[in-house]
Amino acid sequence: MPIISIRGLVVEYEGRRILNDLNLDIEAGETLVLLGGSGSGKSTLLRQIVGLERPKRGSVTVKGVDITTCSLSELKKIRHSIGVAFQSAALFNSLTVEENVALPLREHTALAPSIIDLTVWMKLAVVGLAEFGKLHPQALSGGMKKRGAVARALSLDPEILVLDEPSAGLDPIVAAELDELILLLKQTFQMTVIVVTHKMASAFHIADRIAMLYQGSFSLVGTKDEIRASREPRVRQFLDRVPEELANPANVSAYFQRYLERKEAFL
């Protein structure tokens, strides 16, 4: 049975359709990489998977519970087994990095403080932030905040790890380390990982399957080889890094022409 299954998911913001009738099954222990252009709805989909928003239609079932209709207490129980790192990191600014990572442990476990300290140190060491635990998030760089968020997402050793562009803003070395970490988590803890990334090399390195979002629907969901072999124009455009028509000089001058005409009409 899939650990997460999405059926007929429709999400609208202010009447604008963001996700259009999505269906997706994610098996326990697999790493799914979510690709898609900026604004294609990847973060929106992740927010649905962790139950932050109710969809307009459709269902999201996590570990056998439909989180779009279940009670808050059921949802909370499910959330104990999900670790999330937001695109904006969203560390608590009033707490130090250590306290951020310790927060879920303090709140949801009965571990002794010394054990919590040790666990926190290990999680921070894993993302290379061990020396920075005493700092507040304001004192960290963008990439360090991202890593702090990953450490916090890992703090309860979740079954499902959801990472929204964890490697954006990281240098290639740290980004590669993060990839290795994801592979390690999968191998040793059979963690189910859902990652949004824009880095193709990293996607193909860590993914079991890749799902590509385009205009609110999946243009393709498949293994790495299926994606590589795909003839789907959208997928090819993404993989071969073909710029959108807009960047073509002829189109730009056409846009400019139209802009000038409009401006004349106003004058």
Partner 1 sequence: MATALEDVGSRAIAQLDYVGSLNIQLWSTLRAMKSALPVVGNRYRWQATVRQVLQIGYDALPMISLMALCAGFILALQGAAELRRFGALHYVIDLVAIAFTRELGPLLTATAVSGRSGSAFAAEIGTMKVTEELDSLRVMALEPIEFVLGPKYLAALISVPCLSIVCSSFGIIAGGLFMFFSARLSPFLYFRYVLESIALRDVITGMIKCLAFATIIVHVSCLEGFRVRGGPDSVGRSTTSAVVKSTFFVILADSIFTAFFYFTGGH
Q: Verify binding: residue 48, ligand ATP, rule CB under 6 A.
A: no
Q: How far is the CB of 107 from partner 1 (least distance, A)?
A: 6
The residue number with the shortest CB distance to Mg ion is 43
Q: Verify binding: residue 167, ligand ATP, rule CB under 6 A.
A: no
252, HSE (Cβ side, Cα atoms, 13 Å):
5
Q: How far is the CB of 45 from ligand ATP (least distance, A)?
A: 7
Q: Which string of x and - marks every residue 129-168 that binds Mg ion (by CB under 5 A)? A: ----------------------------------------
Q: How far is the CB of 30 from partner 1 (least distance, A)?
A: 21
Selected binder of ligand ATP within 32, 41, 49, 227 (CB under 6 A): 41
Answer for the pair 55, 48: CB distance below 8 angstroms, yes or no. Answer: yes
Q: Verify binding: residue 43, ligand ATP, rule CB under 6 A.
A: yes
Distance of alpha carbon 45 from alpha carbon 10, whole angstroms: 10
111 binds, among ligand ATP, partner 1, Mg ion, none (CB under 5 to 8 A by kind): none
Answer for the pair 185, 153: CB distance below 8 angstroms, yes or no. Answer: no
Distance of alpha carbon 210 from alpha carbon 195, whole angstroms: 10
Compute the chain's Rg from CA coordinates: 21
Contacts (CB under 5 A) with Mg ion, residues 75-94? 87
Q: How far is the CB of 14 from partner 1 (least distance, A)?
A: 11
Q: How far is the CB of 32 from partner 1 (least distance, A)?
A: 18
Contacts (CB under 5 A) with Mg ion, residues 16-45? 43
Binding region for ligand ATP (CB under 6 A) out of 32-40, 101-109, 200-208, 243-251: 32-40
Give the interface with Mg ion as residue ranges (CB under 5 A): 43, 87
